[in-house]
Chains A and B, each alone.
Chain A
Amino acid sequence: MGNNIDFEYEFPDIAHFLGRENTAELSHLMQLREIPAGMTLIEDGATVDAFMLIFSGEFNVEVSNRDKSLLLGQLGKGKWVGEVSYFTGDGLSTAKVYAVVDSSVLELKHADFVDAQTRHPMLASMLIQHFGELMAGRLRNSNQAFEQVGEQKLALMLANNEASIKDSWLIAMLKKLTGIEV
Chain B
Amino acid sequence: MLLKNFLKSQSVFKSLADEQDLDALSRAIYVQEFPDASIIVQEGKQGKELYLLIEGKVEVTHYDLVSGTPCVLKELKVGELFGVLSLMDHLPSAASCVAVGTVKVGILPRVAYNLLAKSSAPIALNFQLAVTRQIANDIRHRNDALRGLIG
The answer to whether A and B come from one shared complex is yes
Chain B CB within 8 A of A63 CB: yes
Chain A CB within 8 A of B150 CB: yes
- CB–CB B150/A68 < 8 A: yes
| Interface contact tally, CB-CB below 8 A | 140
> Closest CB of chain A to B20's CB: distance in Å?
16
Chain B CB within 8 A of A3 CB: no
Q: Which residues of B contact A84 (CB under 8 A)?
A: 136, 139-140, 143
- CB–CB A139/B62 < 8 A: no
> Which of B72, B88, B125, B149 meets A163, CB within 8 Å?
B149
- CB–CB A88/B67 < 8 A: no
Chain B CB within 8 A of A129 CB: yes
Q: Chain B interface mostly helix, strand, loop or mixed?
A: helix
> Closest CB of chain B to A88's CB: distance in Å?
5
What is the CA–CA distance of A83 and B146 in the complex, to the nearest angstrom?
A: 19
What is the CA–CA distance of A142 and B85 in the complex, to the nearest angstrom?
A: 12
Interface size of A by Cβ–Cβ distance < 8 Å?
54
> Closest CB of chain B to A128's CB: distance in Å?
4
Chain B CB within 8 A of A161 CB: yes
User: Which listed segment binds B: A4-12, A73-81, A146-154?
Assistant: A146-154
Q: Which residues of A contact B11 (CB under 8 A)?
A: 89
Knowing A150-B66, A152-B66, the reply to whether A132 touches B119 (Cβ < 8 A) is no
Q: Chain A interface mostly helix, strand, loop or mixed?
A: helix
Binary contact readout B126-150 vs A (1 if CB under 8 angstroms, 0 otherwise): 0011011101111110111111111
Chain B CB within 8 A of A182 CB: no
Given contacts A124-B125, A150-B65, A177-B139, 14 further A-B contacts (CB under 8 A): A63-B150, A65-B151, A86-B136, A87-B129, A89-B133, A121-B121, A136-B85, A136-B135, A139-B138, A143-B94, A147-B65, A152-B69, A170-B146, A177-B143
A positions within 8 Å CB-CB of B: 63-70, 83-84, 86-89, 94, 117, 121-122, 124-126, 128-129, 131-133, 135-140, 142-143, 146-147, 150-155, 157-158, 161-163, 165, 167, 170, 173-174, 177-178
Question: When A and B form their complex, which 7 residue pairs have the shortest distance between CB atoms, in order from nearest?
Answer: A150-B66, A87-B136, A151-B71, A65-B151, A125-B120, A163-B149, A151-B64
